[in-house]
Amino acid sequence: MMYPKPTKATKDPAYLAEVRKLPCIICQLWGLRQLSATTAHHVCHDRFSGRKTDDRMAIPLCDGHHQGLRDRSKLAIHLEKARWRAAYGPDHGFSARIQSIIKGDVTR
């Protein structure tokens, strides 16, 4: 059986720039103080390949919730993926909200 070749993720630098302007979605929803700059996180939970997801699926995370390089006071998804999911849910669950905020359909 032949399977279709996976498509490349759609790049959208302008969308990523808008994501980076938003506050960290985890700090915002859990009432935490954001201590580092916002980065654009390409969602990784439930992904079945090593490829990045589309830029329009990206969510805003502070360094503490994303890489944990500068801010080690929080749970970083790239350091503890399973624990992060247990605490906050799957990262892709925030994508639709972020898309709506950027489109202006929902307030922050």
**CB within 8 A of 102, min separation 6: which ones?**
15, 18, 19, 22
What does the block give as tokens for 70? 């500068």
The pLDDT assigned to 108 comes to: 58
Model pTM above 0.85: yes
Indicate whether 41 pLDDT > 90: yes
For 92, the 3-state DSSP assignment is helix
Q: What's the CA gap between 98 and 51, in Å, rounded?
A: 21
For 30, the 3-state DSSP assignment is helix
Which of 22-26, 53-57, 65-69 is least confident? 53-57
The pLDDT assigned to 3 comes to: 41
User: What DSSP state is assigned to residue 77?
Assistant: T
* CA distances in angstroms from 58 to 1, 73, 86, 94, 97, listed in the order given: 33, 22, 19, 9, 11
Q: Residue 55 is inside which H or E element, if any?
A: none
